[in-house]
Amino acid sequence: MKTLFSVDPWMLVEETLHREDMRLAESMTSIGNGHMGMRGNFEEAYTGDSHRGTYLAGVWFPDKTRVGWWKNGYPSYFGKVINAMNILSLRVRIDKEDIDLFRDECVSYRRTLDMRRGVLSRQFEIRRGEGLVSVSFERFVSVERPEILAVRCRVTADYDCRIDLIPALDADVTNEDSNYEESFWLFEGEDEQDDLLTVRARTKENPFGTPRFAVCCAMAAAPFGEPKKDKTQTETGYACRRLVFEAAAGETVGCDKFVCVATDRDHTEETLENAALTGAAAALEAGYERLLREQERGWARRWDKADVRIEGDDAAQQGIRFNIFQLFSTYYGEDARLNIGPKGFTGEKYGGATYWDTEAYCLPLYTAIAGEEVARSLLEYRWLQLPGAVHNAQQQGLPGALYPMVTFTGVECHNEWEITFEEIHRNSAVAYAIYAYTQYTGSRAYLESHGIDVLTGIARFWAGRVHYSKRAGKYMIHGVTGPNEYENNVNNNWYTNRMAAWVLSYTAEQLERVPEAKRRELGVTGEEIARFREISENMYLPYDEELGIFVQHDTFLDKDLMPASALAAEDRPINQKWSWDRILRSCFIKQADVLQGLYFLEHLYGKDVIRRNFEFYEPMTVHESSLSPCVHSILAASIGDLAKAQEMYRRTARLDLDNINNDTRDGLHITSMAGSWLSIVQGFAGMRTITGELCFTPQLPQGWTGYAFKIVYRGRLIEVNVGSSGAELRLLSGDELTAYVNGEPQHLTIRGL
């Protein structure tokens, strides 16, 4: 575990240049605005180890994956996010020699990520032969003008020198995550118009018929000081402006760089270049200071609803704000064609695609602190991709819809059989998200217009995927991987079976409630609804009477059972130390499996049932998935084990800040960041909405003197404050409401009315 940044409630501050941990620092200082984002790479030249990455939402490429063991039903490609044009580049030369913090003697260094404003800055001083050179950079991607990147650079030397500043656009980039070490871009031209430079590129042709993407970046630069020379240069895939200053000792020079990134996802082919030029020109006219004020106001509006305040624990405070900041930097619901990749804009691992993490972990957060419309966009994403899910099921010879494990379009693009086609439980998370959203909002509008289409497709898949065991007189599901990915190809995973049964029952209930015209549109008959119910009521659910627990799968109890605490320190983490065969044969659990089902369906089970299963499974859980700690934190709080709940909160809140899993250098764990909010709101505060009422059972973690958060709930804005004397709920806007705290009703009205 390694922490590079000091603890501060609103900042990440790095006081030392960590050349040996540059990739880790770059991940930590990533920024984004939903349209695009980038790792915390340096603007100037850096020849040391680094992972340079800038990514555009919805822009991806189908990388080749066919190998010797390819079989019928496999996807043809692995979709992955691709490194986009380097729009950050702003080289600094002193007397014709590049500043390079890998080679230069660094006298002082400070890098700061300001989460309140969404601004990344650096200040450093280097020693050159003639004296000292001070450099500062500041940048942000605008949340008010999503296609705009703004960069400010200032340079001061304590001796007379020539200073060259070279802001540039560079399309000659490659991916680290590429099977064939290839570039995914074709250069389509560079141009100069009225001091604006453009570079155009397009993704290469591919044999799979997936969309190609065109990108045009336009750059403007405003000098600070009077350059002796000011000229432009273009070559294939590259355009720059060279500002040359003859600076006296102590004189500060610099430039502000503005880039507009336009793609053909948002503009037509004919208007693409003009859109980029217009955006860059408007940013130049507005100027850096005005754009910065817009940025500050935009983030202030977001934080006004989303901020969680923790008193008495600065590390916990920093953790929750960092996680919310990175989530909102990745997605804020403006485009229903987009979703939340596990790494967001912070790295290439997991291909930058959509996983079931969104429905299982992110949707509740966005519903409560961004608003119902933002959350609805996440649901509509899956509805828009229903045809792809139908295709996936048909590839397996099954009816209905199989939502993909990994996707950009709805079509599966991941090629590990035991994950892609056995971890089919993700289908139920998509259905559960519709249920949770409907219960939270109190509105059936989405369910009846779009959600029922998705539910019916998923239910039909489950009805086709089960088989009937004559010996047991039950329906079963064989050959699956549950949420615990450390077991593959098991039979009757309890979570998979239980959630499939719940989906079938819930879908049958909703089909009987929607208008008859909708049922006819879906081709649903009374016989099909009855079959959904019959399967649900007769699903086999492994259970052990002696232990009083749900059994993770048919043969789990035949394993050599032992707690994770029995593992030697040198064996942890097992996913980095053990062979895959040894992991699969062990009893150790990667993340919540049975407990994931009890988290979703908590309202159907008593505390004693949850406690028995928690006390049996949690000790065997190694928490080597970033998604694991939050579910355990919430359930631990629910059964009164506040110490375990707090331990798991710390793990999910500071997973990346403290590099707990030793893999943050590859990018942040974006989707699991929602878990820190869930751990506070659903865990410590005990918020529940699944029964249609707003309820809280608040607890105060040890060392905290209080915490507070706001939620958007059915058109209302409510603030919840928890302290040593109990909990206070305040209605800040909207109609009066009755909520429940520890089972007691509280009637909320706006004060003064």
Supply the pLDDT for residue 333: 86
Predicted local confidence at residue 68, as pLDDT: 53
Report how far apart the first and last C-alpha atoms of the chain are (Å, whole number).
Answer: 52
Distance (Å, rounded) from C-alpha 646 to C-alpha 730? Answer: 26
Burial of 418 (0-12, 13-18, 19+ CB in 10 A): middle
Looking at residue 717, its pLDDT comes to: 96
| Residue 356 confidence (pLDDT) | 82
Biggest alpha carbon distance in the chain?
91
**pLDDT given for residue 436 in this prediction:** 96
Q: Is 485 a catalytic residue?
A: yes
Which of these, 285, 291, 345, 290, lies nearest to 87 by C-alpha position? 345
Tokens describing residue 182: 């290839």
pLDDT at 605: 97
> What is the CATH topology of the domain spanning 11-304?
Beta-galactosidase; Chain A, domain 5 (2.70.98)
pTM attached to this predicted model: 0.96
| pLDDT at 65 (0 to 100) | 63
Closest CA to 487 of 584, 573, 616: 584
Alpha carbons 480 and 646: distance in angstroms, whole number: 33
The predicted pLDDT at position 70 comes to 63
Block means of pLDDT (10 residues each) for the chain, 753 residues, are 86 97 97 96 98 94 67 78 95 98 98 98 95 98 98 98 98 79 87 94 89 96 97 95 97 98 96 98 98 98 97 97 97 88 85 79 94 92 96 95 90 81 95 97 96 98 98 98 96 98 98 97 98 98 98 98 97 94 97 98 97 98 94 98 97 94 90 95 97 95 97 96 95 96 95 54
Q: Where are the domains of the chain?
A: 11-304
Q: Coil, helix or strand for 461?
A: helix
Looking at this protein, which amino acid is placed at residue 419?
Answer: I
The upper half-sphere exposure of residue 266, i.e. CA atoms within 13 Å in the direction of its Cβ, equals 22
Q: Using alpha carbons, list the distances in angstroms from residue 651 to 29, 282, 629, 646.
A: 20, 44, 6, 9
Strand stretches in 462-616, DSSP E: 467-469, 474-476, 543-544, 549-550
Element spanning 303, H or E = helix 288-306
Q: Among 482, 374, 390, 468, which Cα is nearest to 428's?
A: 482
The confidence score (pLDDT) of residue 753 equals 43
382-397 burial by CB neighbour count: b if 16+ within 10 A, else e?
A: bbebbebbbbbbebee
Indicate which residue of 138, 147, 190, 485 is catalytic.
485
